[in-house]
Structure 1
Amino acid sequence: MNQELIQRAQKIRLAVLDVDGVLTDGKLYFLPDGSEFKTFNTLDGHGIKMLMQAGIQTAIITGRSSPVVERRAKNLGIQHLFQGREDKFVALQELLSSLSDAPTLEQVAYLGDDLPDLPAIRRVGLGMAVASADSFVRQHAHGVTIAAGGAGAAREFCEFILRAQGKLDALQEHYL
């Protein structure tokens, strides 16, 4: 692992994730009645839960609005959800200003996949892109996951942070 990325991950107190293309495969599924559905990876969900168990706050900032995302965030226990936000860095600043004992930008990790994510990716302490992200975004991120969005990238991101902070083994040993 890249030592600079490890050092960045060691400082993280808040992990922020995009949805479409990060927690999903990026495809939009519409039913004949106009409603939509999304598929989420359960491995990603458990990675997010492990972050929260380790005391790292989590948030979702997404450009689209969907009741499905609201339900997923609630099921995972994610307390900070910003939907319909194209300017994701502004949403991140709003989140930080609303938190008591708010982390600094250096203590924030962000996982995204497309151009609207890039301002946040470039300004946080650990800005990462999923393997299936836009090439320009991958080029300007601190790191890129091996897994694609919706296929374990969020789990990889979560475990990377937990491993860097020395917390992953204890969380995994709980299941032995």
Structure 2
Amino acid sequence: MDQLNEQQTQKLAQIKLAVFDVDGVLTDGKLNFLADGSEVKNFNTLDGLGIKLLAQSGIKTAIITGRSSPQVERRATALGIDYLYQGREDKITALRELWQDTGFNADQTAYIGDDLPDLAAIRAAAFGATVNGGHPFVVEHADWCTTRTAGNGAGREFCETILAGQGKLEALYQEYL
């Protein structure tokens, strides 16, 4: 994990809400359809444990995704995601609604997305992140970029970066020894 600079660490210390895009962050971004038209999504278990570690540390989690699918709803339920906003292509409007619905604010929020529809939300959050392989314009404007790619542990890296910035990661690791 890359070292965080002082400004990033200060921002991460205040995070109480972590928000994830799905396609291109928690999945590899490919859209797979079966012959009957149903969609298949592949999620990485590394990301799932990262999200559970956030919850264990008292950080609430949310998904804001432009597409709607029962797979995302099932995955969110299985991981204990606190807030789910599907079918929301205008991510910044959904993020503002999330803040209004929950009482969180920009200074308490980390957001990770990969493409142009995520950019306003990335820039609005205190800690705006993207994934390795995300759109170059998004990478240019994000606070931080994962070393792992979408669907291959980038979500876990985001979670662990938040926890490291809050000084909680090593204690969580120790629980597994």
TM-score range, shorter chain: over 0.9
Deviations 1:88-117 (A, max 9, x none): 111111111111xx2220110000000000
Structure 1 residue runs without a partner (length 5+): none
Structure 2 equivalent of residue 116 of structure 1:
117
Structure 2 equivalent of residue 141 of structure 1:
142
Letter in 1 for 2:173: Q
Letter in 1 for 2:12: A
Structure 2 residue runs without a partner (length 5+): none
CA distance in 2: counterparts of 1:114 and 1:151, whole angstroms: 17
Q: Return the TM-score normalized by structure 1.
A: 0.97
Pairing 1:33-112 to 2, within 5 Å after superposition:
33-99=36-102, 102-112=103-113
Shift of 1:79: 2.1
Secondary structure at 1:145 match in 2: strand
Letter in 1 for 2:124: R
Q: Return the TM-score normalized by structure 2.
A: 0.96
CA distance in 2: counterparts of 1:32 and 1:104, whole angstroms: 43
Secondary structure at 1:147 match in 2: strand
Divergent runs of 4+, >2 A: none
Secondary structure at 2:61 match in 1: strand
